[in-house]
Amino acid sequence: MPGLEDLYREIILDHYRAPRNRGELASPPAVRAEGFNPLCGDEVVLYLDVEDGVVKDIKTAGRGCSISQASTSMLSAAVIGKPLDEVRQLTSAFKSMMSIHESNLENETETSQDEPGTVSSDGVRMGDLEALQGVVKFPVRIKCATLAWNTLTQGLDEAAN
Amino acid sequence: MPGLEDLYREIILDHYRAPRNRGELASPPAVRAEGFNPLCGDEVVLYLDVEDGVVKDIKTAGRGCSISQASTSMLSAAVIGKPLDEVRQLTSAFKSMMSIHESNLENETETSQDEPGTVSSDGVRMGDLEALQGVVKFPVRIKCATLAWNTLTQGLDEAAN
Amino acid sequence: MSTLAPKSDFPLLSREVHGKSLTYLDSAASAQKPEQVLRAMDDAYRTYYANVHRGVYTIAEEATQAFEAARRSVARFIHAERTSEVVFTQGTTASMNLLSYSWGSANLRDGDVVVISQMEHHANVVPWQMACERTGAELAWIPITSDGHLDLSGLESLLQRAKVISVTAVSNVLGTINDLAPLVTAAHDRNIPIFVDAAQSAPHQAIDVQALGADAIAFSAHKLLGPTGIGVLWARQSLLEAIPPFLGGGEMISDVRFDGFDAAPVPHKFGAGTPPIVEAVGLRAAIDYLSALGMDAVADHEHRLAAYAMDRLQSELGERIKIFGPSNPSERCGVISFELEAVHPHDVSQVLDEHGVCVRAGHHCAKPLMRILDVPATARASFYVYNEESDIDRLVAALDAAHRFFV
Amino acid sequence: MSTLAPKSDFPLLSREVHGKSLTYLDSAASAQKPEQVLRAMDDAYRTYYANVHRGVYTIAEEATQAFEAARRSVARFIHAERTSEVVFTQGTTASMNLLSYSWGSANLRDGDVVVISQMEHHANVVPWQMACERTGAELAWIPITSDGHLDLSGLESLLQRAKVISVTAVSNVLGTINDLAPLVTAAHDRNIPIFVDAAQSAPHQAIDVQALGADAIAFSAHKLLGPTGIGVLWARQSLLEAIPPFLGGGEMISDVRFDGFDAAPVPHKFGAGTPPIVEAVGLRAAIDYLSALGMDAVADHEHRLAAYAMDRLQSELGERIKIFGPSNPSERCGVISFELEAVHPHDVSQVLDEHGVCVRAGHHCAKPLMRILDVPATARASFYVYNEESDIDRLVAALDAAHRFFV
Ligand SMILES: Cc1ncc(COP(=O)(O)O)c(C=O)c1O
Ligand SMILES: Cc1ncc(COP(=O)(O)O)c(C=O)c1O
């Protein structure tokens, strides 16, 4: 049985207690993306200022559990100033760490049978984000961790249009 | 556990094999009443010739199991030539022998907890009809036995109008 | 200072979680089952299982008798006038849908109003929203007071074009025991029916549908020590007779022709298909179990635990906790929703689980109420016959630990 | 000359009736349950029971995993492309009603035609009669041949204004295994869907919904060694997404506001209310049990018993018995309906009960077919994995005795 310390690493609690990049950006020009987990009510709002293929600035809002809010904060710290291709790599590395199968005969929230992902297979450096790895041992909470990242993808797609 | 001989008394089988008063009466003037057991498909048709408060003639048709058809045959033999008040007494004596509760908190087909009825409490002479007493030990079949009598009541009500 | 029912009757309660003994405080979501219920069901499958109705052979007859005996048991439990007023469904949700489809299609028209309250479970909201979409009727919402009671001050105007009132007897979030009498009177003064969601009241207090005066009530077996897969709709015979059938199929017909069908008499008219046979046996065993405890004793026990819990939570956690719903414990069932300062309900529930304490976190299928309370979710502890004061002590200790962990 | 599954796995089969050992020949009405299924359910209630979805604590998570694992099990059993195409309902009847209400309301209009067959169970007749009443559509009936097969010679004209075909895979009266391929082709040539009542096929032969090509199928757990209270609707993802929700309530929403609701994604959109949780666990155990036997072996076993039964019944009872349905046993499942000369089916069943032999007597929820066969009722013997030749020998002997008794 995984223990609480696997889920609530110190760095996660730190991001939860002192979230980075909280605030708003005028939208437009920034893109505003909103993510919502209907099952638990978690809410994530991202303001993205994308210029010349780089995430120039990001602000976050929303409310929810420690995992969703810490994940949002960590995401903001991880992507700020990064070129879009790196951000996309990081996103897919993060999702693969969360081992979410989109395979048909598996349930959406199902975790893989293999060992939970360590550092991404593509060799992307995850940094602090690795602290969220423990979440995969708590399948119900995976959606909390991925909500911000799904919202980011949504926002970047919108920014691309 | 009651045995088959309780249900299928010799006299019942006799009425089943050689039903009395089979046939039709022109209607009108005779009243035609039809009864139907939706659960098992038993069907009883009675032609009643009621004159001056007396069942002058009765003919029967329909098809179904031995109990429903024997009961129809026995009914026809029991009521032919009888004044209506005697017929009504017999009907209620028969139904009480079948111990059907119409009480609200009991199920329609429920049998009583007391001993199954013997000769009717009103002292009505049941004659051959008593042979049908064994049916109460087979709750599923009670509706087969009472179908003809319910149809009779229906027919007599109609004749009274 | 003890449980009402022996804890040892409930096999699951002897389980451990994370090396801790289990403190099950989620009975409002679903109750644990006593041995007596599990054995009754197992025994049915092992000794007299067959499909019901129509079978002539011994086992089929025994199964039918057991199934119909369960219907009588339910009728007695809720003091129904007739057994035939008891319809078995899949649960409260299915019962409310039966009403919203069947009663709704026969009675709701464009511009009519369906009156519900702001504290309804989705099971008593969404079916009516759907019925409104189908018929052009509209919803009107009875508001709630800051103390978590129905606010009936504006009832007159809400009822202007009302065709039905459908309300919960007990809130599954606030624990509020609603006083339904004025609503019953108001409905009947206007010759409209009143339906009651009894999902949270049937398990916890005696119900007398005749004294209550409502026209229909719905509840689920699984919250009442019984199995999943079965629930009850009780409605007045005259109402059941007046409305059209809902689900079509076997058992609910008296004849099927190429050009149409005739419905069977009530209650079979609403019993399409093979019913939850063994579940009915389980429900009966649950009712027997509760009746032996006595429903008044059950209600008292829960009031006692609710009072103890509110007292302990407030005295131990003080400003750090906010409890929703009536401040007077005697106005509520054993359901307590709360917010722990700076800790999200999900995290509360997660940390409590580590202590073996099971509480629910979320919107409790009452999103409209969450909007009114202005929270995305709450944590909820709920008590039943197998709980006692020491369970609440463990809850309080675990909450204290959770708060320290996060703040 | 033996059962396919050990008889000792089925506790009920060791029971005696009237001092005789039991010969259970009514599996088409409902199957008996193996130990493995009963233990899986009992174990769920005893060790990991809680309401599913939304719960954060360990037991709720375990219950949710078990429930969703059952969905995957069903998906694999019928070779569904996606797990999300599997919807749990109360049974075949509820599944057909979901289609007739939800698909029907979105697709049927005045003058449209719904094509069914004369051998349908009421579960695939009455819901469509009701949908026709609501929408103004009409029923058209595929006739049957004298040998008990679908008569497709007039299909073209039946399909003129057709909006859907809904047929049974196997007749619960005649035992006929229908060749659905030409119907699937005809439906898809016209761009209309075809729904299949698989209540009598899913328990008895392998199903591959992708190979079958149908758009939806329905079946019940209780005929498939599983518990009462649960059934399955499988439908293509695109169909489930296109049609509106059926029952409203908790779990089937993604949001509920005062002015309306948003439905959850498939399959939860069709999962209103607390589902039959432990029943799903039981269904999974039943599927595991059948899969271990092998569905092809199950089908072979039944063909063998059907052939043996038809041979023995005809050779021992000769002119005294009339068997309905296909004369070639390889065209039928293990279901044999018959008429015993001069003995009403009810009396047949009653006398057989005295010999410990359980057969069903009645219209088998197929009144339109009874009208075509021109009988008020039939007696029906049906076989499953726990039956063997000696059961049929006892049936034949008891029928002989019944005939002597009455004639
Ligand atoms: C062919 C067929 N369809 C539908 C049904 C109805 O199944 P259920 O009663 O489980 O809903 C049955 C079973 O009686 C059946 O044999
Ligand atoms: C007040 C109330 N109504 C309705 C329901 C729905 O019950 P079920 O999910 O058993 O259909 C619940 C239970 O969650 C409830 O608490």
- Per-residue pLDDT of D80-102, as tens digits, reads 999 999 999 999 999 999 999 99
DSSP character at residue D14: G
Answer whether D250 contacts ligand 2 (Cβ < 6 A): yes
Q: Is the dihedral of CA B108, B114, B118, B120 positive or negative?
A: negative
Radius of gyration of chain D (CA): 22
* Residues C310 and C246 grouped into a single domain: no
Is there contact between B and A if contact means ≥3 C-beta pairs under 8 Å?
no
- The verdict on C238 touching B (C-beta cutoff 8 Å) is no
Query: What residues make up the domain containing A9?
Result: 4-160
Same-domain status, C192 and C119: yes
| Cβ–Cβ contact D138 with B under 8 A | no
Q: Give pLDDT, residue D272.
A: 97
The least confident of A126-130, C24-28, C310-314, C360-364 is A126-130
D56 and A140 in contact by Cβ < 8 A?
A: yes
C390-402: average pLDDT? 97
Percentage of residues in chain C having pLDDT higher than 90? 97
Q: Which residues contact D326 (CB under 8 A, 6 or more apart)?
A: D147, D148, D149, D174, D175, D176, D332
CATH number, residue B54: 3.90.1010.10
**CA–CA gap between residue C335 and residue C27 (Å, rounded):** 9
Given D223, D258, D292, which residue is the final one in a domain? D292
The better pLDDT of the pair A116, C75 is held by: C75
Give yes or no: residues C324 and C232 share one domain.
no
Q: What is the pLDDT of residues C210-237, one digit of tens each?
A: 999 999 999 999 999 999 999 999 999 9
pLDDT in tens, D292-333: 999 999 999 999 999 999 999 999 999 999 999 999 999 999
Measured between alpha carbons, how far is residue C45 from residues C39, C282, C318 in Å?
10, 11, 51
Report the gap between the CA of D367 and the closest CA in chain A (Å). Answer: 40
Query: Going by CA atoms, what residue is nearest to atom 14 of ligand 2?
Result: C29
Please write the tens of the pLDDT for every residue from D272-281. Answer: 999 999 999 9
Is the pLDDT reported for residue C247 higher than 60?
A: yes
B39 neighbourhood in chain C, CB within 8 Å: 53-54
CA distance B39 to chain C (A): 6
Predicted confidence band at A127 (pLDDT cuts at 50, 70, 90)?
confident
Asked if C182 and C214 touch (Cβ cutoff 8 Å), the reply is no
Task: Take residue D302 and report the two structure tokens written for it.
Answer: 């039944």
Calculate ∠ Cα D363-D378-D199, nearest 5°.
Answer: 55
Which of D180, D196, D200, D378 best tests ligand 1's pocket when mutated (most atoms within 8 Å of CB)? D200
Whether C187 and C228 share a structural domain:
yes
The answer to whether residue C332 neighbours chain B at the CB level (below 8 Å) is no
Check residue C170 and report its DSSP letter: B
Quote the minimal CA–CA distance from D384 to chain B in Å. Answer: 25
Residues in chain D within 8 Å Cβ distance of C105: 134
C75 touches chain B (CB under 8 A): yes
Residues D215, D191: Cα–Cα separation, whole Å: 11
D398 and D260 in a common domain: no
- Verify whether ligand 2 is closer than 6 Å to residue C388 (CB atom): no
Which of C247, C279, C370, C374 to mutate to test binding with chain D, by most D CBs within 10 Å of its CB? C247
Instruction: Say yes or no: C269 and C282 in one domain.
Output: yes
Q: Which of B134-138, C67-71, D334-338, D377-381 has the lowest mean pLDDT?
A: B134-138
Least confidently predicted of B128-132, D334-338, D361-365: B128-132
> Which two tokens mark D259?
């002015």
Cis peptide bond prior to C275, omega within 30° of 0 = no
Nearest atom in ligand 1 to the alpha carbon of residue D92 is: 11
**Which of C53, C58, C59, C68 would you mutate first to test chain B, the one with the most B CBs within 10 A?**
C68
Asked whether the predicted pLDDT for residue A111 surpasses 60, the reply is: no
- What's the number of domains chain A is made of? 1
Residue B100 has pLDDT above 70, yes or no: no
* Distance separating alpha carbons of residues D80 and D149, to the nearest angstrom: 28
Size of interface B-C (CB pairs under 8 A): 33
Would you call D29 and C11 a contact, using CB atoms and an 8 Å cutoff? no
Taking only residues 337 to 376 of chain C, the set having a beta carbon closer than 8 angstroms to any beta carbon of chain D reads 346, 349-350, 352-353, 357-362, 365, 367-368, 371
> What percent of chain A has a predicted confidence (pLDDT) above 90?
58
Q: Is D72 on the interface with A (CB under 8 A)?
A: yes
Whether the CB-CB separation of D288 and D305 falls below 8 Å is answered with no
List active site positions of D.
365
Once rounded to an integer, what is the mean pLDDT over residues C181-186? 98
pLDDT in tens, C273-320: 999 999 999 999 999 999 999 999 999 999 999 999 999 999 999 999
Assess whether pLDDT exceeds 90 at residue B6: no
3-state SS assignment for residue A57? strand
Reading phi first (left if > 0) and then psi (alpha if -120 to 50, else beta), residue D319 is in alpha
Residue ending a domain, choose from D243, D259, D292: D292
From the CB of C93, is ligand 2 less than 6 Å away? yes
pLDDT at B109: 40
Q: Which of C264, C292, C320 is the last residue of a domain?
A: C292
Residue D118 lies in a domain: yes
The active-site residue, picked from C132, C333, C358, C365, is C365
The verdict on C258 and C313 lying in the same domain is no
pLDDT: is D237 or B28 the higher one? D237
Residue A107: predicted pLDDT? 40
CA of D121 from ligand 1 middle (Å) equals: 7
**C138-164 residue pLDDT tens:** 999 999 999 999 999 999 999 999 999
Domain with residue D193: its CATH number is 3.40.640.10
Q: Fill in the amino acid letter for D165.
A: I
Residues of C in contact with A7 (CB under 8 A): 350
Residues C261 and C229 in one domain: yes
Residue D233 CA to ligand 2 center (angstroms) comes to: 23
Query: Ligand 1 center to residue B141 CA distance, Å?
Result: 24
Among C126, C340, C344, most A C-beta atoms within 10 A, so best to mutate, is C344
For residues D381 and D359, is the Cβ–Cβ distance under 8 A?
A: yes
pLDDT above 90 for B115: no
Q: Which residues are CB-contacts of B116 (< 8 A; sequence separation ≥ 6)?
A: B97, B99, B133, B136, B137
Statement to judge: residues C299 and C283 lie in one domain: no
Q: Residue range D184-199: average pLDDT?
A: 98
Q: Is A41's CB within 8 Å of C18's CB?
A: no
Which chain C residues are Cβ-neighbours of D228 within 8 angstroms? 229, 274-279
Question: Is residue C233 located within the same domain as residue C364?
Answer: no
**What ipTM does this complex have?**
0.92
pLDDT band, residue C327 (cuts 50/70/90):
very high
pLDDT band, residue B159 (cuts 50/70/90) = confident
Best residue among D93, D166, D283, D332 to mutate for probing ligand 1's pocket (most ligand atoms within 8 Å of CB) is D93
pLDDT at res. D52: 94
Residue of A4, A7, A103, A140 to mutate for D, most D C-beta atoms under 10 A: A140
Which residues span the domain enclosing C233?
38-292
Q: Residue range A57-85: average pLDDT? A: 95
How many domains does chain C contain in total? 2
Average pLDDT, chain C: 97
| Residue D37 reports pLDDT greater than 60 | yes
Higher pLDDT, B112 or A27: A27
The answer to whether residue C172 scores a pLDDT higher than 80 is yes
Q: D52 CA to middle of ligand 1, Å?
A: 27
Residues of C in contact with B102 (CB under 8 A): none
Q: Chain-wide mean pLDDT for chain D? A: 97
B44 DSSP β-pair partners? B35
Taking 90 as the threshold, does the pLDDT of residue C106 lie above it? yes
C-alpha D367 – ligand 1 centre gap (Å): 14
Q: Which has the minimum average pLDDT: A11-15, A31-35, D50-54, D116-120?
A: D50-54
Note the pLDDT of residue A101: 43
Q: At C351, is the pLDDT very low, low, confident or very high (cuts 50, 70, 90)?
A: very high
Residue C111 placed within a domain: yes
C-alpha dist (Å) from residue B129 to B4, B97, B143: 17, 10, 15
DSSP 8-state secondary structure symbol assigned to residue D298: H
* D322 exposure class (CB count in 10 Å sphere: 0-12, 13-18, 19+): middle
DSSP C7: G
Q: What is the pLDDT of residue D100?
A: 98
If asked whether residues D26 and D120 sit together in one domain, one would say: no
Residue of C156 and A122 predicted with greater confidence:
C156
What's D375's domain CATH number?
Answer: 3.90.1150.10
Give the pLDDT band (50/70/90) at residue A122.
low
Which residues of chain A approach chain D closer than 8 Å at the C-beta?
1, 36, 38-40, 104-108, 110, 139-141
| Nearest alpha carbon to residue B55 among B86, B97, B92 | B86
Q: How far is CA D127 from CA B131, D138, D144, in A?
A: 43, 12, 21
Are D47 and D113 within one domain? Answer: yes
Q: Is C200 in the pocket of ligand 2 (CB under 6 A)?
A: yes
- In this complex, the residue of C47, C121, C261 whose CB is nearest that of residue D15 is C47
Contact by Cβ (8 Å): C151, C143: yes
Atom index in ligand 1 nearest the CA of residue D168 equals: 1
Inter-chain residue contact C278 with D228, CB threshold 8 Å: yes
CA atoms within 13 A on the CB side of C128: 29
